[in-house]
Structure 1
Amino acid sequence: MFQVAVCGPARCSAVEEAAAREVGVLLARSGAVVLCGGYGGVMAGAAQGAAGAGGLVIGILSGDDRSGASPFLTAAVVTGMGQARNSVLVGSADAVIVVGGSWGTLSEVAMAMRRGVRPVVVLGGWRIADARGEAVPGLVVADSPAAAVRLALAGRG
């Protein structure tokens, strides 16, 4: 199964949550497993969209139990690792889609890039350039949820 992590802030705009929901729907319709942090905001949007489209949604939780987890998860993995769970999340993914941005989201981008997860697709939020101001190879920018999913699934073999 092709697994795509959808990452983004727990506190986000309605536009970001709607984009994450659409990403979740499109991933589920493509047959991809949706991985997320399992809580609110972008994570809940992706989970709701994927679950509503009949997809499999796995939440990688930061806490010691399932309290506060999105009701749209198919299954939840309790890590008790706090933000370190971000490494488990992106390390389990074949591709990453980032919707919006927060410091936790930026850590997920960095970990995914460092681990060699490709592609890492950014939809809104963080824009990352190297010291010369050039785009970082492997980090691609999408202008819509459909483009983000298409780019993420391009890595499916």
Structure 2
Amino acid sequence: MIQVAVCGPAECSAAEEASAREVGALLARSGVVLLCGGYGGVMAAAAEGAAGAGGLVIGILSGADRSEASPHLTACVATGMDQARNSILVGSADAVIAIGGSWGTLSEVAIAMRRGIRPVVSLSGWQINDALGNAVPGVVPADSPAAAVRRALAGQGTWRADDLR
């Protein structure tokens, strides 16, 4: 089963929240397991979208207490590891979709790149350039939730573009 991590800030704009909700629903309709940080903002919106579409949603929590987790999670892992949980979240994914940007989101993008997880899709978020200003290969921009999901799932097992319904 394909697992996609949806990463983004706990405090986000209404547009980022709407995009995350749509990404979550599209992933669920494609039969993908959604992984997220399990709290508010982008994480909660993606979880809500996926749960509303009947998907499986796993939250990898930074804290040791599950009581503050999004109510839209199917299950959660309370790591008690603070930001170190980002490594577990991203390392458990076949692909990553980053929506919006925060320092935590940037760390998740960097961890995914270091671990060779591809693709890493950026929707309204971080665009990574090298010292010469050239785009870093591997971070793929997307201009819509549907494009983000298509790019994240391209080449993932038996998934086909027409699975996105």
For this structure pair, what is the TM-score category when the shorter chain's length is used for normalisation?
over 0.9
Structure 1 contact 95–155 (Cα < 8 Å) conserved: no
Amino acid at match of 1:123: L
**TM-score of the two chains, using structure 1 as the length reference:** 0.99
What's the offset of the Cα at 1:51?
Answer: 0.2
SS at match of 2:126: coil
**In 2: Cα distance, 1:17 partner to 1:67 partner:** 22
Partner of 1:121, secondary structure, is strand
Report whether the alignment pairs 1:24 with 2:24. Answer: yes
Cα deviation, residue 62, structure 1: 0.4
In the alignment, residue 108 of structure 1 is paired with which amino acid?
Answer: E
Moved over 4 A (4+): none
Partner in structure 2 of residue 101 of structure 1: 101
| Aligned counterparts of 1:123 and 1:105: Cα–Cα separation in 2 | 12
Q: CA RMSD in A?
A: 0.5
Q: Report matched runs for 1:78-89 at 5 Å.
A: 78-89=78-89
Partner residue in 1 for 2:44? 44
Does structure 1 residue 126 correspond to structure 2 residue 126? yes
Q: In structure 1, how many angstroms separate the alpha carbons of the residues matched to 2:86 and 2:45? A: 18
Distance 2:91 2:98 in 1: 15
> TM-score with structure 2 length normalisation?
0.94
**Aligned residues, how many?**
157
Contact kept in structure 2, 1:24 and 1:34, CA below 8 Å = yes
CA distance in 2, matches of 1:64, 1:156: 32
1:68-88 per-residue CA deviation (whole Å, 9 max, x = no partner) reads 100000000010000000000
**Structure 2 unmatched ranges of 5 or more:** 158-165
Q: Secondary structure at the match of 2:67?
A: coil
Residue 10 (structure 1) aligned with residue 10 (structure 2): yes
